[in-house]
Every structure is written in structure tokens, then in C-alpha cells.
Structure 1
């Protein structure tokens, strides 16, 4: 208690921080995790004890700059200014504090990576999204978003090739009643634990593949939506572990089965978030879609940020293989969703999106692309009302692999400028290294490492 008092006397704290300290004591929290998403899309962090929480809420936790040059195989890449010399701070956002019902005694906060003087660091993904949100607000707009994730539930077991693999929980059919019953206990606990953390559960169902689940949460302002997706990913896996199972949000944890997407739903609102502008200004929606399509090859490097992602993307997989848009067209990269009921809000669904992406970089890049469409009043072209694969050669394809997507990103002046020198050099180095590493190995190696990381 003396530590807490001395810190608060030296650094007066706001009521939100004081409530965190009180909750930690009342709820018996022993460790608080300060989490962030790295350039490999992996959720990482450090934890502080309750006795040092007051101090670390102010100072953050020290962290080497090199971690933002680490790929998903824990291989450090050579990136200028991201080596063994230098440190940043993991500084948590007080509004993101949640206790973890699946890990009693622990809590989590989403964190920014900041310089030692407290200023924003130009390799921080969460700051990238905050800056994009601010730029959008400067034009009078706000983005509301929700990730719609799928994941595979089952058990981790040894494989004959020496790599662990995921054995699905069941072999039920898509939306089948037996699938609800098989995963019932898990689904109830997952829904409860998400709601406990402030994520409002919308829908749940067993999906197409063996052991595949889909549970969606309510939309939120862009930064909160990305924070929610980090909490979602952690909770999906944490609940499974507590129930002696394994859950993977990897795009293709099973090479011969349907993949796991995290379709990104988007709507544009006025800056005060009182009115959905897509509802009454169709030209705004069209221009936003035009921006997404204009930058889609490059965007894919950020929204589908892993080698494994491109096993999922392809024609007739309902994940989008073509850079087109259309009303309720689930083979289009951008689906114009029909509202649900009289109170439903119109929104867009970006289908080339999955949970191996860093959600802050993904959503921030989407904002920059859509904003470019608004500023230049880009025309998205005619909507596609058929499966685009039925008309060979008529429509542009998405990148076929991570390297091709990274080439498109490097050629996209707008997104490269938005990322900035340090962030773009680190991201490209990390992702190029992953493409090379997995290209030199077999499928079992790829599936294992993605199943493990995501």
C-alpha cells in the first residue's frame, strides 16, 4: 500500500486509474498483462504484479525495440533502429482494463508502445490506428467496425511428421444441431467470458469445417473494435486451454478443410457517431468502396498478413478471390450487406481479412484506403451480381501469395506513406522473412506454426 500511495502522491492519477487499482485489490488480481500486437500478428506482452501496478500504470514496462522486428517464428530480422540497442515502454490504456474470467487472478490492458519520454513511437501499431482515426475525424467522419472471426476447436496432438496438429472437436455439418450440442459447454463459457470483458456477443453457430466455430461480437468505434479483437483472440484460446482443448484462429489450420476468416464489417458515421452516413448518402459508400478496391492488392498484405492466409483466399471458397464488390455477394472481396430489420444499419464486409493480421495495422490501412476513395471520389465500378469465377478473365484477382501482396504494398504510395519509414521497413522485413521461411519448408511445418501462433 505504501508503494501505491507514494506513486499517487508523486503522480496524481485520474479517476479511471484509481478505479483500476481498487478493482485489482477487491478482485484479487495478482498479475496484469500489458498486451500488444506485433508485426507478425502475434499477441505479445508483459505482466506487472499488483504491488507495482500503480507505478507501471504511469511509467509503463520496459521493452526492447527489437521485438517489432521479430517474425512469428521468433526470428529477429535486421531492421535499422530495431536491434539490441534501444528501449520503449509498454504503456497501457486505462479504459481497456478487464479481468480475465478464464485466468483467475489475472487482468489485461491493451498497450501502446511509447518512447522513453512518453511520446508516440513510430513502430507502434495501435498508434497507427489512432492516427488513422484522427485523420478520418479531421474530414468529419468516424468509422465503426467489427471483426467477424471463425476458429477451429479441437485438441492438439502429435503428428507422424514430428509436428503437432489440431484434431477437430467434431465432424458436424455446417449450422447442424449436433454441432451446437458438441461445442455447447465451450460456447456458453466463451460467450460468458466475452460478455464479462465488455464484448457484446451477437451470434454464434457451428461453421462449415470440422470443429469450426463462429461467434461474432457487436460493432464499436474503430480503435475499440481492434482492441476487442485482441481480447477475442486471447479469450478464444484461453477458454479452450482451461477446458483442456486447443483453439486456433489461423486462416488454414487444416489444409484440406475450410479456412478461418475474420471478415471486417465497416460503416461510416459522422464524427460524433450519431448517424450512419451509409444509410442516407449512397455516394459516400460508393467512394469508400472505390478506395478499398483501388488499394485492395496492397491492403491484402495487411488484412491477410500470413503465408497461411493465402491457402484460404481463392475462388469458390466464400473468402473472395476477386477484387470486386456486390450486394450480398459472398464471393466478392467487398460485400454490400443488406440491413437486418427496420433498425439495421447498412455496412460493408471486407472478406479478405483474417486473424493472423495485426488488427491495428489492418483496420488503420482500411481507413486510409477508404479515406482516399472519399477524397478522390473514386468510382468502384459496376457491382458484380454473379459468382465472379463463372466469368474467367473478367475480373481482377487478388494476390496469389504473401510475396505478391507485399510487392503490391511496396508499390502502393499512399499506404507506404501512411505506414511511415520505420513501420513499413519493419513490416516488410518481418513478412518477407516469413514468406521465405515457410517457402523452404513443407506444409506440416506451416500448419503447425500457424496453429501455434494464432
Structure 2
């Protein structure tokens, strides 16, 4: 679409306000709004934003990054193709934005521009990437004491939980479809009030945009039903955690051949697929600082929690970090994909998806192999057995993950100086802030903010 297409659609839909959205280093969805009367000029000239917003942590504590202080400005420049009329907010539309410097170039800390650069990397290799997030979220209400309480205490996949969640889930699905996002499967999950609703894969940039739309939609529709929806990785200390597993497949430049498919392989996975998995696994101890991006993430990322606490790889192994997913009968080649389980919704999806794919592409370029496939729970093996297979424990805290990110120089070049400096500063500040507080403080702030 172009600017005139967006203006026409907005006026025809009765839109008065348009959100210009971005995601910061804390994983928070932020933005500014413009009235439709100014839409043409704002789409061309953008909306001004202080660079300091990318130095804010999830508690709105500004970190001392010299380039992200009170001096300077970047512009929120929206992508016309991302325009959507919001079905849950009458009179409002939204667009996803790039952060552009005053020299009219992508700003060095812009997450969406970073993902675009990874898409170009893949295209230069003749590769197109299809991806989607598979999100879990918790539906709760506030009790008379101001405590979050799950909407049900039903069992995993229970029809009782389906009945309790039915009205809000149906409205969420309708709102997603109205924004061009296709729901696929839904079911209640293990935790009380926990639900999972998967959506169809798309190109990489749209997949990240859709993760933003998904989080916004679920929270807004839940609010209309008198509920709070939380994507916090561990919303309750004694309940199952919420993941946001990343599914991905690689395709030829025409989008016709699935480059992961090899019918002759035992697991139907091609050499390219093994190489891609190897790149992710090699960098995963640092990569989780981007995919499991909050203090709360590491309450979930534990052995025997079905959340992938080890750099393991295997077919339908839900304790492995990278899973070779079973194909759908009658649609084997097109449905061949892999899943990264060590991922949740506290991540900035543009940084997380970009880094995952870049790591995989490095595995292809270097002809790496992931080693043996694991068909048992890695926690059931001895430390010596895991070491012999090259399987290591993932970080157990956000601080440890950031240390690994810093130690792996692959990320220095990939992310660039300003982005990685500011990201590490934000994450280290979050670790320090929550280390001084109790568990109740941590759960409360993550529950509401994600």
C-alpha cells in the first residue's frame, strides 16, 4: 500500500486515531498516536521520539547510554503495509514503525530495521523464511484483595476450561482474523487459566508484526470481558509458564520448495535444516538473552518443565531447545518445520526473530552439524552423557544469559555497537532491580506488563 491507500482505508473505516507502534529493548510495546487529519504528513515526516526510549527498562528506569539521553531525536516512520483497523478499539487503527534517524537512515538501535537486514541476508543466500510465534497466555481476574486469580482451575486440555474460556477466545479469534491473522489451533494448557492459540506462519517481518498485534489483541479483548491477559513467562510461581515458541521453515526464493524437506532422511529433515539448527544451538546460550528476555523468563526455563533448558535437538522432543516438528499427514513437505522452545513473549520479536534466523544462517554458511539427535529428556542423562553429545545447560538467570551474549562475539557484529550496548544495559538493570525485590514484586510487574 501507499500513503493514499492508508488514508482512504482509514477514512472509509471511520478511523480517527492511528497508533504508531514500536517495541523497546524491554519488550514493551510503546507508541504515539496521530489524528487522521494529519496522517499524510505524519507518514512522510514521522512522529518525533526521544532516543531515550530505547534505554528504558521495564520499570521505566532510564539507563545511562550517552546516545540515548535528553539530546537528540529519531522519527517513528510507519510501514503502510502494516496498517490495520483495530476491531477491539472503535475509531482506532495501527501501524508498525521503523526508528529513522534525522539523516533519513535506519537508526542503529531500530529493532524492526535490524530484522529487515536479516531478511536481506537470507535473500542474498536465495532463502525466504516463514515463521510464526506459538503463544501461551494466562487469563485472570482481580480478586477483592487486588490479587490476580486464574479464571479456572481446570486440567490441561480440559473441556471445562474450554467452556470457561469460550466467549473470550472466540472474540480473540474474530479480532485476529479481522486484522488478517489466521488462527489455527486452540486449547487450554497445563496452568490454571492458561491458554494456547496458534496462528499461521508468514514471512519473517510480518511474523514479528503479528506477534505485536497478537499481544495487543489478546490483552484488549480480555479486558472487554473483565479479564487480564498475561503473557508473563511465569505468571504464578507454582503454575506452568507461558512460552512463545518460534516455528520456522526456509524456502527457495520463489517460495515453492521447502528447504527443510528431505524425504530420504530419517526425520525428513534436509542437510540445510541440520545446518540451520546447528547455528541456533551453537549460539543459544547467548541467544536466550534475546528470546527469553526477562528476569521472569528464567523461572520457566528449568529442566523437566517442558520449556527446553538444554541445547538439545531432536524429533518431537519437547524438552529439546530445537524440535523437529512432525509433519501433517497429506501435507508433509509444506508443513515441515522446526521449533525453538526456549522463547517467550517478554522478548522484542524483531530482535529475537532476527537473531534466531541470523544464527541459523551462519550454521548454513559454515556447514555446521548439530550433533546427535536426542530422543530422551536431556535431564535424564548424566552430566557426562550430555557433555559427550555437546548438550549444555542454558543460563539459569537473565544476568547469566547477558554474560553469554557478551562473550559470544557473533552478536557484536550482528547487532552493532549501539544496539548491543543499550540492550545489555537495559537487561542488566532489570536483573539488578528485581534482585533487590521479593518474588511478589517480580510476579506482579511481569504479570501486568506482559
Q: TM-score range by the shorter chain?
A: over 0.9
Q: Distance in 2 between matches of 1:253 and 1:350?
A: 21
Q: Residues 27 and 73 (structure 1 numbering): CA distance in 2 closer, same or farther, change over 3 Å? A: same
**CA-CA distance at 1:272 after TM superposition:** 2.7
2:399 aligns with: 403
CA contact (8 A) 1:65 1:88 kept: yes
1:349 aligns with: 339
1:177 aligns with: 159
1:385 maps onto 2:381 in alignment: no
1:222 aligns with: 204
**CA-CA distance at 1:156 after TM superposition:** 3.0
Q: Distance in 1 between matches of 2:418 and 2:322?
A: 30
1:116 maps onto 2:98 in alignment: no
Q: Report the 3-state secondary structure (helix = DSSP H, G, I; strand = E; otherwise coil) of the residue aligned with 2:330.
A: coil
1:374 maps onto 2:370 in alignment: no
2:112 aligns with: 126
1:320 aligns with: 308
**CA-CA distance at 1:343 after TM superposition:** 1.1
Q: Distance in 2 between matches of 1:165 and 1:320?
A: 30
**CA-CA distance at 1:45 after TM superposition:** 0.4
Q: Distance in 1 between matches of 2:131 and 2:235?
A: 26
Q: Deviations over 1:85-106 (max 9, x none)?
A: 0100001000000011111111
Q: Distance in 1 between matches of 2:147 and 2:81?
A: 37
1:140 maps onto 2:126 in alignment: yes
Q: Distance in 2 between matches of 1:58 and 1:291?
A: 39
1:85 maps onto 2:49 in alignment: no
Q: Deviations over 1:48-104 (max 9, x none)?
A: 011111111111110000000000000000012110001000010000000111111
Q: Deviations over 1:121-146 (max 9, x none)?
A: 01000011000110111111111111
CA contact (8 A) 1:120 1:127 kept: yes
Q: Distance in 1 between matches of 2:142 and 2:128?
A: 41
**CA-CA distance at 1:273 after TM superposition:** 1.9
**CA-CA distance at 1:16 after TM superposition:** 2.8
1:201 aligns with: 183
Gaps of 5+ in 1: 1-14
**CA-CA distance at 1:158 after TM superposition:** 6.5
1:19-418 alignment runs, 5 A limit = 19-157=5-143, 159=145, 164-280=146-262, 282-344=270-332, 345-393=335-383, 394-395=385-386, 396-418=392-414
CA-based RMSD: 1.1
CA contact (8 A) 1:368 1:415 kept: no
Q: Report the 3-state secondary structure (helix = DSSP H, G, I; strand = E; otherwise coil) of the residue aligned with 2:321.
A: strand
CA contact (8 A) 1:166 1:253 kept: no
Q: Report the 3-state secondary structure (helix = DSSP H, G, I; strand = E; otherwise coil) of the residue aligned with 1:107.
A: strand
Q: Deviations over 1:329-379 (max 9, x none)?
A: 000001101101121421111000000000000001011110110011111
TM-score by length of 2: 0.95
Q: Deviations over 1:401-438 (max 9, x none)?
A: 10110010001111121100000000000000000000
> How many pairs does the alignment contain?
436
Q: Residues 157 and 422 (structure 1 numbering): CA distance in 2 closer, same or farther, change over 3 Å? A: farther
1:446 maps onto 2:442 in alignment: yes
CA contact (8 A) 1:165 1:451 kept: no
Q: Residues 376 and 158 (structure 1 numbering): CA distance in 2 closer, same or farther, change over 3 Å? A: farther
